[in-house]
A = this chain, B = another copy of it.
Amino acid sequence: MDSQFGAAAESVDPTLEADVFVKNCTSRPVLQNVAGRWGTLALVALRAGPIRFSALRRRVDGVSERMLSQTLQALERDGMVHREVHETIPPKVEYTLTELGAQVAEHLETLIHLIEANMPTIHQAQASYRRD
């Protein structure tokens, strides 16, 4: 069953263009992994350079160990993040952005800055929405 699964995933027709608006397009889960709750924060935090799991977890305030671990696995699987094990005692595991991950993270950081800079406007909208 596993091999069938692998075969199906690898037989993606390369002449078909990806379209996240199509329900079963393989690009949609990738978008969800990078734009999701923790994916965005992890990718943008990784822009500062190689970082260990514990430091990343402190930076992404509020994420559980389990959620950060799942998030990093998904990002590594999609080729956004590289996980490097250094053979020290104890072993040191560091995460870095791949070239593609760096491009994605740059766009996400621009988006974050846009939202942060517009919080006064957003707060006004939220206040008037409640008054309706």
CA distance A114 to B60 in the complex (A): 24
CB atoms of B21 and A79 under 8 A apart? no
| Copies of this chain, count | 2
Question: Is there contact, CB below 8 Å, between B14 and A120?
Answer: yes
Chain B residues in 8 Å Cβ range of A26: 119, 122-123
Kindly supply a per-residue 1/0 record for chain A positions 57-84, scoring 1 wherever the CB is within 8 Å of any chain B CB and 0 otherwise. 0011110000000000000111100000
Cβ contact within 8 Å between A27 and B100 = no
- Interface status of A107 (Cβ within 8 A of chain B): yes
- A4 contacts B by Cβ under 8 Å: no
Segment 78-95 of A: residues with Cβ below 8 Å from B: 78-79
A54 interfacial by beta-carbon distance below 8 Å: no
A34 interface residue (CB < 8 Å to B): yes
> Can you list 17 contacts pairing A with B, beta carbon distance less than 8 Å?
A9-B127, A17-B116, A18-B115, A23-B62, A27-B115, A30-B119, A31-B111, A31-B115, A35-B108, A35-B111, A36-B37, A77-B126, A78-B125, A79-B121, A98-B125, A100-B122, A104-B114
